[in-house]
């Protein structure tokens, strides 16, 4: 993608993590979870409280990272690519205009402040089993 498209997308998503590396053209290795053609790799990852997970779409398909609102700790912050405040909005925005989409080379990052289990999904590939889990430990 070109630089202006990337910056625009970061502006919409409100996610700046990885931008300097992306602008330098180093898109290959700086992620924790890859979004391949058909799944999140790895599909389970464990980070400490305060840890940040960076997702990157390493495929040519369009994906999302969308938390299951009922699949995260009660007092945890909701997260979704696109920066949506809840799952319902994330799904509506996806259906409306592919809101929250992550295309090849796009990244999304979230910092986990509350311990527990976080289940999340790629909205367009939910039926294909594209969901995964982040474990956050004290
Ligand atoms: Cu997907």
Question: Per-residue pLDDT tens for 11-49?
Answer: 344 444 444 444 444 445 689 999 999 999 999 999 999
Q: Is residue 107 a contact partner of residue 56, using CB atoms and an 8 Å limit?
A: yes
Q: What pLDDT, on the 0 to 100 scale, is given for residue 23?
A: 42
Please tell me the predicted confidence (pLDDT) of residue 25: 43
Distance 50 CA to ligand 1 centre (A): 26
Q: How far is the CA of 116 from the centre of ligand 1 (A)?
A: 24
CA of residue 77 to ligand 1 center, whole Å: 22
Say what the pLDDT of residue 72 is.
98
- Domain 3-137, architecture per CATH: Sandwich (2.60)
Compute mean pLDDT per 10 residues along the chain, 138 residues long, and list them: 42 43 50 96 97 97 98 98 98 98 98 98 98 97
C-alpha distances out from residue 29 to 56, 87, 88, Å: 9, 29, 32
**How far does the centroid of ligand 1 lie from the alpha carbon of residue 106, in Å?**
13
**How far apart are the CA of 67 and the centre of ligand 1, in A?**
13
Instruction: Using the mean position of ligand 1's atoms as its centre, give its distance from the Cα of residue 137 in Å.
Output: 26
Alpha helices in the chain (DSSP H): 3-13, 19-24, 87-97
């Amino acid at each position: 993608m070109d630089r202006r498209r990337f910056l625009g997308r970061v502006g919409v998503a409100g996610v700046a993590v990885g931008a300097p590396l992306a602008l330098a053209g180093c898109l290959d290795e700086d992620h924790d979870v890859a979004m391949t053609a058909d799944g999140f790799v790895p599909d389970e990852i464990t980070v400490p409280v305060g840890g940040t997970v960076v997702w990157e779409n390493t495929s040519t398909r369009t994906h999302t990272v969308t938390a299951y609102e009922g699949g995260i700790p009660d007092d945890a912050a909701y997260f979704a690519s696109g920066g949506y405040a809840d799952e319902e909005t994330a799904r509506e925005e996806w259906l409306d205009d592919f809101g929250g989409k992550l295309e090849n080379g796009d990244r999304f990052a979230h910092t986990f402040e509350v311990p527990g289990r976080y289940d999340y999904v790629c909205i367009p590939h939910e039926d294909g089993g594209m969901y995964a889990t982040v474990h956050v430990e004290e």
